[in-house]
Structure 1
Amino acid sequence: MRNSPSKNGSGGHSRNFTDAFWSPFVNKSGAGISPNRSYALVSLFILLIVGAFISTRLLLDPTVLLEKETVTSPTETKPQTISPKYPRPPTVITKSPQEFILHCSGNQTTGRNSYPATASFGDDDSKLPPTPTCPEYFRWIHEDLRPWASTGITREALERAKKTANFRLAIVGGKVYVEKFQDAFQTRDVFTIWGLLQLLRKYPGKIPDLELMFDCVDWPVVRAADFAGVNSPSPPPLFRYCGNEETLDIVFPDWSFWGWSEVNIKPWESLLKELREGNKRTDWVNREPYAYWKGNPLVAETRQDLMKCNVSEEHEWNARLYAQDWIRESKEGYKQSDLASQCHHRYKIYIEGSAWSVSEKYILACDSVTLLVKPHYYDFFTRGLLPAHHYWPVREHDKCRSIKFAVHWGNSHIQKAQDIGKAASEFIQEELKMDYVYDYMFHLLTEYSKLLQFKPEIPLNATEICSETMACPRSGNERKFMTESLVKHPAETGPCAMPPPYDPASFYAVQKRKQSTATRILQWEMKYWSKQNQTGS
């Protein structure tokens, strides 16, 4: 048989072939390899080894047929070599997001940054990355819109909201139109409209056509009792910054999320980072063991009453209270009103002004235990807060004694007090970040638009606006804060997933928990003061 192996394991023909192959490199005398042929022999030996290696790799790994590639990551400048030893990684094409900028040179054309009515996330939203469920307080959107759930919102009902509104805003075909009725206090209306423009930049093509009326005054005015009768008309849908239990106004994020130019309060995204850094400057246990408040006491009697709780020769109520003079602050460059530098007490007091106050979110963000004087109003996120978890309730009509007990309790329960302060600041940092503010606006407006029983139109006396027409003519803090809060590119994912509305049982459970916790704390307080009275201290 051809090439049959011999006893020593080598086929005869193979041996003859080998001998013939090597014979040119061997001296005829058999003394060994010829010196003048050593170089050729070494070269041939290397070629054989390399050839064998390549043959084996071709059999085992077909990817070696591909050339080595040098790939540069979008975030790296140093080339990264993909070795043919391993399978090729999946190709990921990272597309730089479209960036929106302000065009303030030359003609400020209305609509320059208007956004198409087509979706920006791609034709198939099912291909988007999964989004988290929205925070729990988003469920209140359903409650705020419940008065129109069965009837819808008619054109007639909308027009009745004009009575106190500062402006009408319409979104038609991805463009924004504003009809102004009356001036708002300071620049509340300006930065509210600016925030809505930024929402369209974040989710271009995703905001449905709609018309709404907005009232920038603090106090809600749509009284529920006026629309409780069987034959009563549906209430006018009126947007504003806060509500209460007796009214039906639709609650919307306030203007200060994009900056409060008159008092030098920065846009929320920037300020939130500064507050986070400010918390790190002093550990909770090393902070002043008192309750701190700084604000304008002249706007409400309840704040003037609070000032009676300040430390004096007669009383130590464990409070350190300061009146804020904004006129003086503006002249001195706001050196004493830096919010990130006011996290130096273990406890901070929140008390309403003429109505709800924008200061609540700044106070809650401080890691301090928020002592919340019983409020009468709520904004869009505060209904998600729980007593003894996010804040400590303080009695409205006996503030001084209630504050003194709260500080005493916290200083006697160090770990529990720290937990309350931390839970509040984490809520603000994680569940009230700017992405969620925009998502709340997105879901509220989307659900609102579903209730409209008419086709939204461009108001007759409205003006089309865009980011350029608002920001470019402005200067100072207004221009600075608009530039800082400008949404520069569309969102790369969709908004968070809207949670379902409360069912009666879960709604009752939330309300019951808040009430029972507040009652238990009041009982502790009464017991404390009863003991103090008995000992005469």
Structure 2
Amino acid sequence: MQGSYRRLAESFRHQCNWNKPHTRYTFAFFTCLLVVGAYLSTSILDISVSVNKELPTKIIEIPLDCSSTNQTKTCPANYYPSALPTIRPRSSSILLSCPHYFHWIHEDLRPWKDTGITEEMVVRANRTANFRLVILNGRAYLETYVKSFQTRDVFTLWGILQLLRRYPGKVPDLDLMFDCVDWPVIKSSDYQGLNALKPPPLFRYCGNNQTFDIAFPDWSFWGWPETNIKPWEQLMGDLNEGNKKLRWMDREPYAFWKGNPKVAEKRVDLLKCNVSEKQDWNARVYKQDWDKEIEEGFKQSDLAKQCTHRYKIYIEGSAWSVSEKYILACDSVTLLVTPDYYDFFTRSLVPMQHYWPIKAEDKCRSIKFAVDWGNNHKEKAQELGTAASSFVQNDLKMDFVYDYMFHLLSEYSKLLRYKPKIPPKAVELCSEAMACHAQGLEKTFMLDSMVKSPKESSPCSMPSPLEPSALKQLIERKQASIKQVELGEQKYWEKVQDQQR
């Protein structure tokens, strides 16, 4: 490089006759021009850079004002600060796409796509609803029908209030009914035929292929005080740290499950897969005694300390179970017993990518095969566990949980064919009305999960609805993958039987 520069300089000197006056003047003028041009270019560049630099945004906190609510449980008149930051739309170059499971928002709302939702439809959902929630101008109003089991309703409502704090003034006006019981009730078979009524829109934590209930993130994302389960953001960090303490290869080479078998016959049936003097199905199954746990201070139920086996079993309770996300986050291979229900994110889980499918009608033999296969194919099995944990850590973080809520409620609001109004028996609800008077773990979990500042950027980009052909292909690929596992299992047991003859 330096040699090239010297040759260029020599060539320039030879071509110029420095003894001629006009040459010296011309050169001086040309040099001056270069210096001025360089200065101007640098100045313009500096200005351009300074203009393109994003100035640091001042974070505006929304305080929890308990001073005015100690006695009356009322909400502050001026709930949000007067000057809120404008949500910055993401530039196209860094557009954040929502995870795949956001596609299911369109499917869950499809029953009302053509007709929209009338107030009569919403009111009909109060037959089983625990509460009715109306949002007007960013403020929430609650009409309670029936108190839910434990604090399900409390933390569901708390989660929605945090959404309003995260995106103040951005959640549209809406009117909805919410049922906090496990199993879905809006049967699709009741709304078929030319003269059939449209189904009432009812939100709950899960659905199935025979119902129209709208799946919504469950209460435990903001904490479950009765079982000492922390808010999801905090617990996810604990689970991640727990995974680092024990490598997959160093874990117990068995399938682990711990839970309450009393809630479902399928769980009682799982107990038969436990190791005994006569048979070892490669499963280690334990009953969870919650009464004893409460007495002993939850010493044996720390989820972050239960990632000690290479395989973990997920099996539904009376319906879907909140335990699924905790099991998926463990770096262990999730052995998923064929489910009857889904929640808001599980329909995008892929067999043999995020979990190993287990036959519901033949659990023990299916578990035995899965564990034997994994222990003989350790690297492939470990990849399954890692993929599930990555899905949870990346696609199920609270940022996306809130964005799912935002998009679901926004799309639902678009379908309303009437202007929502405050029900006569409703009361205004805000974070102060809930947290200021809470006690114990309930208050701790509320404060730990509270959104303290508005989000400066917009929600992730909502995907378009899946075409019917794409949805069909997705379902068929899942079924083909499960069938492949079942064929492998069949050959495995045929070989075992041949060896025993």
**Amino acid across the alignment from 2:59:** P
1:210/1:129 Cα in 2 relative to 1: closer, same or farther (>3 Å)? farther
Q: Aligned pair 1:459/2:428, yes or no?
A: no
1:318/1:151 Cα in 2 relative to 1: closer, same or farther (>3 Å)? same
Task: For residue 95 of structure 1, report the CA deviation from its aligned partner.
Answer: 2.2
Q: Aligned pair 1:93/2:93, yes or no?
A: no
1:535/1:190 Cα in 2 relative to 1: closer, same or farther (>3 Å)? same
CA deviation string 1:202-226 (max 9, x = no partner): 1111100000000000010000000
Task: For residue 114 of structure 1, report the CA deviation from its aligned partner.
Answer: 3.4
TM-score (norm 2): 0.89
* Alignment-derived partner of residue 395 in structure 2: 431
Q: Specify which of 471, 475, 486 is matched with residue 507 of structure 1.
A: 471
Within 1, Cα distance between the matches of 2:486 and 2:165? 47
Q: Specify which of 477, 482, 489 is matched with residue 453 of structure 2.
A: 489
Q: Aligned pair 1:275/2:239, yes or no?
A: yes
1:533/1:105 Cα in 2 relative to 1: closer, same or farther (>3 Å)? same
1:310/1:127 Cα in 2 relative to 1: closer, same or farther (>3 Å)? closer
Within 2, Cα distance between the matches of 1:251 and 1:351? 19
Q: Aligned pair 1:383/2:343, yes or no?
A: no
* Alignment-derived partner of residue 177 in structure 2: 213
How many residue pairs get aligned? The number is: 469
**Amino acid across the alignment from 1:366:** C
* Alignment-derived partner of residue 11 in structure 2: none
* Alignment-derived partner of residue 337 in structure 2: 373
CA deviation string 1:382-408 (max 9, x = no partner): 000011110001111111111000000
Q: Aligned pair 1:334/2:298, yes or no?
A: yes
Q: Aligned pair 1:103/2:81, yes or no?
A: no
Within 2, Cα distance between the matches of 1:270 and 1:292? 23
Within 1, Cα distance between the matches of 2:392 and 2:231? 15
8 Å contact kept, 1:113–1:467? no
8 Å contact kept, 1:131–1:495? no
Within 2, Cα distance between the matches of 1:297 and 1:117? 52
8 Å contact kept, 1:115–1:175? no
SS at match of 1:397: helix
8 Å contact kept, 1:115–1:205? no
Within 1, Cα distance between the matches of 2:400 and 2:98? 8
* Alignment-derived partner of residue 529 in structure 1: 493
**Amino acid across the alignment from 2:434:** M
Task: For residue 448 of structure 1, report the CA deviation from its aligned partner.
Answer: 0.3
SS at match of 2:361: coil
CA deviation string 1:282-314 (max 9, x = no partner): 111111100000011111111111011111100
Task: For residue 121 of structure 1, report the CA deviation from its aligned partner.
Answer: 2.5
1:519/1:117 Cα in 2 relative to 1: closer, same or farther (>3 Å)? farther
Q: Relative contact order (alpha carbons < 8 A, sep ≥ 6): 1 or 2 greater?
A: 2
**Amino acid across the alignment from 1:305:** D
8 Å contact kept, 2:335–2:367? yes
Within 1, Cα distance between the matches of 2:82 and 2:202? 25
Within 1, Cα distance between the matches of 2:68 and 2:409? 34
Q: Aligned pair 1:475/2:439, yes or no?
A: yes
**Amino acid across the alignment from 2:96:** P
Within 2, Cα distance between the matches of 1:125 and 1:398? 51
Within 2, Cα distance between the matches of 1:243 and 1:452? 22
* Alignment-derived partner of residue 230 in structure 2: 266
SS at match of 1:403: helix
8 Å contact kept, 1:116–1:174? no
Give the number of the structure whose alpha-carbon radius of gyration is greater.
Answer: 1
* Alignment-derived partner of residue 61 in structure 1: 39
8 Å contact kept, 2:351–2:357? yes
1:193/1:143 Cα in 2 relative to 1: closer, same or farther (>3 Å)? same
Within 2, Cα distance between the matches of 1:532 and 1:393? 21
**Amino acid across the alignment from 2:275:** V
Unaligned runs of 5+ in 2: 1-17, 22-33
1:404/1:60 Cα in 2 relative to 1: closer, same or farther (>3 Å)? closer
Within 1, Cα distance between the matches of 2:129 and 2:82? 27
8 Å contact kept, 1:119–1:206? no
Within 2, Cα distance between the matches of 1:421 and 1:370? 7
Task: For residue 450 of structure 1, report the CA deviation from its aligned partner.
Answer: 0.5
